[in-house]
């Protein structure tokens, strides 16, 4: 579905420059109807609402990770999806996210324990 905060940021010149060319192209793409790749897809969403996305898009749907709404992470055909108590930027340094990535790579699904 894309990111409402990202689309709003891309509407002005400074925001579009901050996002970069490839992100701008991604935001203009049609939403993926269904994952149709031979490789399994696992989706990790966050629900810690800390981030600039709330300032950029005050009506950002809840729950969200401060930049992307959990509902925006739904990809039909994905092998698995998990929601963790992390922010968008916090995913980069989260040990819980790293553990879930490892579980998905090993087993094709996230760990629920």
Rounded to whole angstroms, the Cα distance separating 106 from 18 reads 35
Give the pLDDT of residue 30: 66
User: Is residue 86 predicted with pLDDT exceeding 90?
Assistant: yes
Rounded to whole angstroms, the Cα distance separating 96 from 102 reads 10
Q: What is the pLDDT of residues 8-51, one digit of tens each?
A: 777 778 777 777 777 667 666 666 678 888 999 999 999 999 88
Ranges of H-type helices in 11-61? 13-19, 21-28, 53-56
Rounded to whole angstroms, the Cα distance separating 74 from 35 reads 10
Rounded to whole angstroms, the Cα distance separating 5 from 112 reads 29
Give the pLDDT of residue 88: 93
Looking at per-residue pLDDT, the higher value among 13 and 3 belongs to 13
Give the pLDDT of residue 32: 67
Q: Is the peptide bond before 63 cis (omega within 30 degrees of 0)?
A: yes
- Report the pLDDT averaged over residues 87-110: 98
Instruction: Supply the pTM of this predicted model.
Output: 0.80
Q: What is the pLDDT of residues 67-83, one digit of tens each?
A: 899 999 999 999 999 99
């Amino acid at each position: 579905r894309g990111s409402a905060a990202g689309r709003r940021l891309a509407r002005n010149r400074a925001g579009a420059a901050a996002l970069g060319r490839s992100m701008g192209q991604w935001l203009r793409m049609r939403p993926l109807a269904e994952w149709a790749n031979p490789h399994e897809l696992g989706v990790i969403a966050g629900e810690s609402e800390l981030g600039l996305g709330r300032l950029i898009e005050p009506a950002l749907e809840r729950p969200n990770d401060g930049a992307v709404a959990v509902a925006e992470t739904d990809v039909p055909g994905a092998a698995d999806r998990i929601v963790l108590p992390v922010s968008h930027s916090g995913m980069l340094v989260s040990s819980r996210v790293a553990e879930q990535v490892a579980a998905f790579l090993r087993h094709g699904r996230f760990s629920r324990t």
